[in-house]
A and B are shown apart, each in its own frame.
Chain A
Amino acid sequence: MGLEIINTLILLLLVVAALVALRVKDLITASVVFGVYSFLMCLLWAEMGAVDVAFTEATVGAGISTVVLVATIFNLKRKSSD
């Protein structure tokens, strides 16, 4: 029962993070929120027992992708036009 509450919470936060990442104008914020999304996904996988996938998601999704996205955005326009 306790696990289901945590699962529901994580899934709700996932939806919120996805919507925020789409709506926000500042691209740096969007990429950081995207990192949050990845980390929530990692928690979900770890909780389901797929620890290998969770590990990959934490390193690649939440770690390197965010850094590479931020590094790229510093060389582009920071504001999204739509």
Chain B
Amino acid sequence: MKNASLIPVVLVGFLLFYASIDFPEWGDPQSPASTADVSSHFIAKTGVDTEVPNMVTAVLADYRGFDTMLETVVVFIAGMAVLAILRNFSRKKPVKRGHEVSVEPDLIVTNTVRLVVPVIQIFSFYVLAHGHVSPGGGFQGGVLMGASFILIALSWDLERALTRFSINRCMVVAALGILLYAGIGVLSMALGGEFLDYAELEKVLPVSREMARYHAMLGVEIGVGFTVTAIMFALYANLSSRGRLEGGL
């Protein structure tokens, strides 16, 4: 049976290779993606419309904002699903796992983490806030922030990380992130535009239409960052402890 399954794999692989012959050269200016109106439109208009130098962020958070909002909702739902399945609400006595040993946290590891965690967190704020100008944005900044809490949980134990960022607070922060994103969308709708039409925010912000889009994108990215931070940490906390939320890895 195992050898029989090799036949479709090889066949599909051959077909994929055969199809890749038709691909345009990498960076070819005559390729369909480069000659289409869409890409030249965004390259010409992004800086004029939104004052954002990083085109990727502008497309992600503004032109395609609805898509990114629902992407954040997907992250939120994934985290909620893991919590719903794993989180142990019963008060049964926990079973000790085979690899668990009770040792003190290592001195060198914990002191290195003490040094590194603030740097990671400040860098994550930079990535989040500087996403308009350089690569970065809500997802990357949020993941970095979540990783700093995971690092604390890895080097001490889960309790220590949870005193800083409890699971209940995780859920609140995750929901707040989506509310912030959707709230900016609804606010621009209330001000006379369409959902997520950030330019209308000029009526409440003391800036031009272009800069309103710029600042609204930052607000939206902060919302994404909130959700991703909370969900990443909640995922790790539940997966590493079978939902019991205690002990080290």
**Chain A hits for B143, CB < 8 A:** 59-60, 63-64
**B26–A48 contact, CB under 8 A?**
yes
A60 to B18, CA, bound (A): 32
CA distance A52 to B55 in the complex (A): 10
Q: Is the CB of A56 within 8 A of B150?
A: no
Tier of interface size on chain B: 20 to 34
Contact yes or no, B249 A74, CB < 8 A: yes
Query: Which residues from A are CB-within-8-Å of B136?
Result: 52, 55
User: Which residue in chain B gives the minimum CB-CB distance to A46?
Assistant: B135
The answer to whether B139 and A75 touch across the interface, beta carbons within 8 angstroms, is: no
Partner of B147, one of A54, A63, A72: A63
With A60-B143, A64-B143, A64-B232 as given contacts, are A75 and B137 in contact (CB-CB < 8 Å)?
no
Instruction: Give the docked Cα–Cα distance between A68 and B146 (Å).
Output: 12
Contacts of A32 in B (CB 8 A): none
1/0 contact string of A42-73 vs chain B (CB within 8 Å):
00000010011011100110011001101110
Q: Does any Cβ of A come within 8 Å of B182's Cβ?
A: no
| Smallest CB separation, B23 vs chain A (Å) | 14
Q: Which 7 A-B pairs have the closest CB atoms?
A: A71-B240, A51-B135, A59-B143, A52-B56, A52-B135, A72-B239, A55-B135
15 A/B residue pairs, CB under 8 Å, sorted by A = A51-B135, A52-B54, A52-B57, A52-B135, A55-B127, A56-B139, A56-B140, A60-B139, A64-B147, A64-B232, A64-B236, A67-B150, A67-B236, A74-B249, A75-B97
